[in-house]
Amino acid sequence: MIQVDFEKNFMSWRENARKFLADAIPPDQINWSQDELSLFTFDASSQDVKKPVSNNDFKVPPELISQFKTLSYARDEDRWNLMYKILFRLCYENTGLLSISIDPDINKAEKLQKSVRHDIHKMHAFVRFKKSFVDENEVYVAWHKPEHLIVRPGTEFFARRFGDKRWSIFTPDESAHWDLKKITYGAGMAQRDFQGVDDWDEIWKTYYKSIFNPARIKIKMMKSEMSPKYWSSMPETSLIRDLVRDAPKALQKMAENINTSAVVDLKLSLSELKSKSSSCQACPLYAKATQTVFGVGPENASIMIVGEQPGDQEDRTGNPFVGPAGEILSQALIQAGIKKESVYITNAVKHFKWVPHKNMRLHQKPSGPEMHACKPWLEAEIKKIKPQVIIALGTTAATAIIGKLPKIKDERGKIISSLACAPKVIISWHPSALLRAGNETESTEKMQQLVDDLKLALSAEE
């Protein structure tokens, strides 16, 4: 048995292996393990060295060299022996050995290499730098515990990526230090001796927490990709336990919040829908209002007008557009030559929203969630009426109809024909915008535009 005394690295192994190979020394005659150094001492003269059995000049494929290099980083005492065994068998037994992936030696070598490559990849992924200062120089330091002996092959990556700043990476076996020009290697360090703190760890944890979706939990998958053996040096992993524990609670909260829009049965007729809507409580608005104000008008109307929500008088009478804004709409319709009775008129939100103000009920704009909650009623009305043209008055109505917050000023006066709800949709001013106008000119102008838009609707319908 030959006991090899070599520096445990690839180059040194190669030198020795080359000699042994030339002498055709079979693998089982060589002990590459240094642990037993004290037990054996090599006395070459006592060995019965065999003569070479082939004239092979021991050329091996270049990939094999790089595969062996990878293998040499494995934390496995048997690796040197395994490498030599493969080399020997390749040269003396079977030149096709390398493509027999089911051969036990090849198989083991492949597995080990894969494990080393995997470990290097995980080093690239899981090293966490912390900013620190050494002699007033910014240095980024990290402690990482790899599975294999990969400091050398594993840290070049960081020089390629972070070459513009100094960094140091410590592992229990060895450390690597970049000085802006080259990497030097030093002694290893235990985790407890590593002192690095960084405020950004907290920001990173905030990100980790926020990007996690509690509706999906796949712990096994997470652990197989990010093995707990690496966790101790990764700040975000301290959150995992709580995130998983609280996931059902977070989901529950989501589910409770979910039923905030009206549930509408489309099989009902228009009048049935109307009476159903009178008991709707899908959003808080029903509580302070007198009644729902559903749409009115002929079921076969080809023009549908959608406003924002009922006002004080609408709330009392139960009919849309009967107050001051309704007054303006009536005038505009007359000027445009449209009979009010021929049009289906409704609102995006069916209950009156208000706050008390000096004995009055002051109108308030419905919120997004309220508009959203009420939308199924509007959608049902559209489905029943099947209008040729929808005129949406004001931003609330227009948002509900076109699915996007419009700028009325820019988007009015045009026929939108790309929507599924109706062949043609037109956006215009809400009559109350005229009431709120700062001066006469503005209100006259808006009135004119409203009339123009209604005329456009009339021509579009024909």
Interacting residues with ligand SF4 between 376 and 395 (CB under 6 A): 377
Least CB distance to another protein at residue 87 (A): 20
Q: How far is the CB of 337 from another protein (least distance, A)?
A: 30
Closest to ligand SF4 by CB, 282 vs 322, is: 282
**Does the footprint of ligand SF4 cover residue 350 (CB under 6 A)?**
yes
Residue type for 392, please? A
Work out whether 84 is an interface residue with ligand SF4 (CB under 6 A).
Answer: no
What the block records as the tokens of 292 is 């729902």
* Min dist. Cβ of residue 431 to another protein (A): 23
208 binds, among another protein, ligand SF4, none (CB under 5 to 8 A by kind): another protein
Q: At what angle do helices 151-161 and 104-126 cross, to 10 degrees?
A: 40
Angle at 19 between CA 14 and CA 24, to 5 degrees: 115
Q: Which is nearer to ligand SF4, 310 or 323 (CB)?
A: 310
The first and second tokens of residue 417, run together, are 């024909």
Q: How far is the CB of 347 from ligand SF4 (least distance, A)?
A: 9
Find the binder of ligand SF4 among 79, 276, 351, 363 (CB under 6 A): 351
User: What is the rounded CA–CA span in Å between residue 346 and residue 308?
Assistant: 8
Binding at 374: pick from ligand SF4, another protein, none (beta carbon under 5-8 Å per type): ligand SF4
Task: Give 41 or 279: the residue with its C-beta nearer to ligand SF4.
Answer: 279
Cβ proximity to another protein: between 130 and 276 the closer is 130
CB of 163 to ligand SF4, least distance (A): 38
Query: How many Å separate Cα 267 from the centre of its chain?
Result: 39
In the region spanning residues 266 to 285, those forming contacts with ligand SF4, defined by CB under 6 A, are 277, 280-283, 285
User: Residue 51 carries which DSSP code?
Assistant: P
State the binding partner of 350 from another protein, ligand SF4, none, CB within 5 to 8 A by kind.
ligand SF4
Pull the structure tokens for residue 263. 């549930």
Q: Does 91 bind ligand SF4 (CB under 6 A)?
A: no
Question: Rounded to an integer, what distance in angstroms lies between the CA atom of residue 78 and that of residue 64?
Answer: 18
Closest CA to 329 of 391, 396, 409: 391
Stretch that binds ligand SF4, among 2-10, 173-181, 312-320, 346-354 (CB under 6 A): 346-354
Strand partners, 346: 306
Nearer to ligand SF4, 89 or 276 (CB): 276
User: Is 397 among the residues that bind ligand SF4 (CB under 6 A)?
Assistant: no
The one-character DSSP state at 96 is T
Residues 6+ apart with CB under 8 A from 305: 321, 329, 343, 344, 345, 346, 390, 391, 393
CB of 207 to another protein, least distance (A): 5
Q: 426 and 451 in contact (C-beta within 8 Å)? A: no
What are the DSSP calls for 349-377, one per residue? S-S--EEEETTEEEE-PPPHHHHHHHHHH
Q: Which residues of 153-291 form beta strands (DSSP E)?
A: 166-170, 174-178, 183-187
Query: Least distance in Å: CB of 406 to another protein?
Result: 8
Contact 75, 148 (CB under 8 A): yes
The Cα 398–Cα 307 span in angstroms is 9
349, 402, 451, 457: which one binds ligand SF4 (CB under 6 A): 349
Q: How far is the CB of 425 from ligand SF4 (least distance, A)?
A: 19
Binder of ligand SF4 out of 68, 129, 143, 286 (CB under 6 A)? 286
**Options 127, 301, 373, 451; binder of ligand SF4; rule CB under 6 A:** 373
Closest of 69, 87, 102 to residue 30, by C-alpha = 87
- Interaction partner, residue 292 (another protein, ligand SF4, none; CB < 5-8 Å by kind): ligand SF4
Q: Checking DSSP bridges between strand 166-170 and strand 137-143, what pairing results, if any?
A: parallel
Selection from another protein, ligand SF4, none that 249 binds (CB < 5 to 8 A by kind) is none
Which among another protein, ligand SF4, none contacts residue 422 (Cβ within 5 to 8 A by kind)?
Answer: none
First to last CA, the chain: 103
| Tokens linked to 35 | 């642990």
The reply to whether 264 sits near ligand SF4 by the rule CB under 6 A is no
Point out which residues bind ligand SF4 (CB under 6 A).
262, 277, 280-283, 285-286, 292, 349-351, 370, 373-374, 377
